[in-house]
Structure 1
Amino acid sequence: MAVYTEVSDEDLAGFLAAYDIGEPTSFKGIAEGVENSNFLLHTTRGRYILTLYEKRVDPADLPFFIALMRHLAGRGVACPTPVASRAGDCLGTLAGRPAAIITFLDGVWPRRPSVEHCAALGAGLARFHAAGVDFSMERPNALGQPAWRPLFERSRERADEVSPGLAAEIDAALAALAATWPQALPRGVIHADLFPDNAFFLGTRLSGIIDFYFACTDALAYDVAICLNAWCFEPDRSFNVTKARALIAAYRSVRPLSAEEAAAIPVLARGAALRFLLTRLHDWLRVPPGALVTPKDPMEYLHKLRFHQQVADLGGYGVDS
């Protein structure tokens, strides 16, 4: 379970005393997520999520995340909204960690996304991008292309423990992407981690987007490429062109892709696959002692990277340029 910091009854009561959300009736850890400690909080006023931000989250970034959620909610994007204390603060401290209470969203994430889920996700991602156009704050992408080589160096010596020849294959991919990475695409705030478990649905209707703790300022089309990786591959690792076509068509129906963005999608998709391969490799080799979290298999994203390396243009994803 992804709870790294336990919260005592006394500490919880003291923290909630600053909020006007009623008395707690239930409080339990949430078994999903790998970055922070999350709890489902029921009170006499409703349901909330209480998040304790762990050491991998820079406290200096928290005002950006909080402000972004409030901005998006104010623009009609279905997402959690931070709850302010009676003093007007959306961030506090609990059990020695920065902490926030956010509103609860109804819905479930799709364990096996359908074509309809992918279409709804594509349109929702475009609405997210459109809503962020006038968001005034910026945050550099700490896991953007310049960070990949230094991240890999932390795992290089043990990479071949995961798969023989993996270090050399990553080296070659890093060099190719450094030489071809697009630099002048439209930019704005992106989610950067919009996997199926960060999107809630009621049936096939997107009911909300959650977990904005990788959000940053980067190329908007890079977010599309991340979603192609996260939503359009099947459990047998085959690529589903019908899902890709639906996702991109729905995105374009809300926010058209420029010719430059469309042409860059294969390179961006390779970069997205490599980014998640590298972070999974890092975590696979460094499971925190005592954490009841199973690290995700980095080899899944090596297979995705290899697929994207064979794609020359959008037609390779079943999509008209």
Structure 2
Amino acid sequence: MVIEVRRTEVGVDEANELLNQAGLPNLNSMEILQGGWDNTNILLTLIDASKVVLKVWNANTIEEVGRVVARHCHLDEHGIPTAVPIQLANGSLIAEKDGMAWTLLPFIEGGMLGTDENSLKSLGETMARLHQIPAADFFPDDYRMGWSLFEEMFVIADETNTWSDFLITLKKESKSLRNQIPEGLPQGILHGDVFPDNVIGDGSVTAILDLEEAFIGPCAFDLMMAFVGFGWNEDEALTDRWNTLLEGYESIRPLTQDERSALPALHRYATLSIAAWRYWKHVMTQPDEALKKRYLEMVHRLEQQIDF
């Protein structure tokens, strides 16, 4: 049995080698897990029926993976539910193969967190706790899907003469939003991509995954990103979901008046960031006929006015 990963292959012998390094039983079967656009997650069922996840980090350098793993460890140390790689015999949490990082993660039972009242309240509470833990050097100040990505896209558009209607709108909107979002808002460690495929749970948060986009920024931005990820039903914003998410959040960390005033602009920035990432990914850098219009979901949301 061989499972093809985007830039390499994972065979039984290779999987067993890593399992042996972790002191785990040998492999019984492999199954690709859904989710994720770059790196590949493979569910390994072992001969004793236990399960772990093999993650092949196709899209990140070894150094980058080290920083991401350090972020997961930091959250875990401060009581935020997440997944920390299983330690190998040499004491490392990361194995290197063919220039890429491989990690073994505990398999966490449960699917993506739902949008029911208990789930959203738990998500709000968990995010508020996350935003209050101490900062660390391996969390950057730059948001990879935000202002810096926008500027990169503008450079590409200039160099390739591909200024589309969306890019023109993005430039106009980003300039306006920079003026609307005040400096000095309370800062904390943010996840940056709070969507259902990054949160496992059933009625409450079991684990927050995928900290590649995590950074130090305004706490209220992360709350609005969670609303972008969890608060909509197709093209309709659901205020009851927002109220429940906010209730959970403020039970741990009440928003300041400045944060409340900035919510509409922060929501617009979060929505624009997802639209921009999708456009950059599926239109500009890795054109995909099936996904090239995916950014329009977020563009259409920008047309709606929401009372926060």
TM-score of the superposition, structure 1-length normalised? 0.84
Distance, in Å, in 2 between the alignment partners of 1:294 and 1:101 is 30
Correspondence for 1:306 among 297, 303, 306:
303
Q: For residues 131-146 of structure 1, what are the structure 2 equivalents within 5 Å?
A: 132-133=133-134, 135=136, 137-140=138-141, 141-146=143-148
- Aligned partner of residue 111 in structure 2, secondary structure: coil
Q: 2:31 aligns with which of 16, 20, 28?
A: 28
Specify the SS of the correspondent of 1:84: coil
Q: Once the 2 structures are TM-superposed, how far is the Cα of residue 42 of structure 1 from its aligned partner?
A: 2.1
Q: 1:285 to 1:144 in 2, by over 3 A?
A: closer
1:219-268 deviation per Cα after TM superposition (whole angstroms, max 9, x unaligned): 22111111111111111x11111111110111010112122222211111
Taking a change above 3 Å as real, the CA distance of residues 263 and 2 of structure 1, as seen in their structure-2 partners, is farther
Please tell me whether the aligned partners of residues 93 and 99 of structure 1 are also in contact (alpha carbons under 8 angstroms).
yes
1:21-47 deviations in whole A, cap 9, x for unaligned?
222222222232112011112224632
Report what 1:120 is aligned to: 122
* 8 Å contact from structure 1 (residues 22, 43) kept in 2: yes
Asked if the contact 2:111/2:201 (under 8 Å) is kept, the reply is: yes
TM alignment of 1:164-179, pairs within 5 A: 165-179=165-179
In the alignment, what sits opposite 1:201? 201
Deviation at 1:296, TM superposition (A): 7.0
The change in CA–CA distance for 1:54 and 1:183 in structure 2 (over 3 A counts) is: farther
Residue 12, structure 1, aligned to residue 15, structure 2: yes
Q: In structure 2, how many angstroms separate the alpha carbons of the residues matched to 1:86 and 1:170?
A: 49
Distance across 2 between alignment mates of 1:69 and 1:218 = 17
Change (3 A) 1:299 1:115: farther
Aligned-partner residue type, residue 123 of structure 2: L
Change beyond 3 A, Cα 1:305–1:143: same
Count of paired positions: 301
Residue in structure 2 matching 1:49, options 53, 58, 61: 53
The offset of 1:136, in angstroms, is: 5.4
> 2:62, 2:99 within 8 Å by CA — same for their partners in 1?
no
Q: Structure 1 residues 121, 279: closer, same or farther in 2, change over 3 A?
A: same
Instruction: Please tell me whether the aligned partners of residues 119 and 243 of structure 1 are also in contact (alpha carbons under 8 angstroms).
Output: no
Task: Determine the structure 1 residue equivalent to 2:107.
Answer: 104
Letter of the 2:11 counterpart: S
Asked if the contact 1:12/1:94 (under 8 Å) is kept, the reply is: no
Q: C-alpha displacement at 1:138, in angstroms?
A: 2.9
Aligned match of 2:79: 76
Residue aligning to 1:181:
181
Query: C-alpha deviations, 1:96-130, integer Å up to 9, x for none?
Result: 411111111111114x6234332221112112223
Question: What SS does the aligned partner of 1:154 have?
Answer: helix
Distance 2:4 2:130 in 1: 27
Whole-angstrom distance in 2 between the partners of 1:27 and 1:95? 20
Give secondary structure in 1 for the equivalent of 2:121: helix
Shift of 1:135: 4.3
How does the TM-score come out when normalised to structure 2?
Answer: 0.87
Alignment match of 1:283 (pick from 281, 284, 287): 281
Give the partner amino acid of 1:189.
Answer: I
Note the 1:252-267 alignment, pairs <5 A.
252-267=250-265
Question: Matched residue of 2:36: which SS?
Answer: coil
Answer whether contact 2:231 2:242 (CA < 8 A) is retained: yes
CA distance in structure 1 between the aligned counterparts of 2:25 and 2:290, rounded to whole angstroms: 32
In 2, the alpha carbon distance for the partners of 1:58 and 1:95 equals 11
Name the residue aligned to 2:242: 244
In structure 2, the residue matched to 1:85 is 88
How many Å separate the matches in 2 of 1:262 and 1:13?
A: 52
Equivalent in the alignment of 2:221: 222
Give how far 1:176 is off.
Answer: 0.6
Q: What percentage of residue pairs aligned between the two structures are identical?
A: 21
Structure 1 window deviating more from structure 2 (60-69 vs 138-147): it is 138-147
Tell me if the contact between 1:73 and 1:81 (Cα under 8 Å) persists in the aligned partners. yes
Letter in 2 for 1:281: Y
In structure 1, the partner of 2:63 is 60
Is residue 2:190 matched to residue 1:190?
A: yes
Whole-Å Cα distance in 2 between the matches of residues 25 and 129 of structure 1? 40
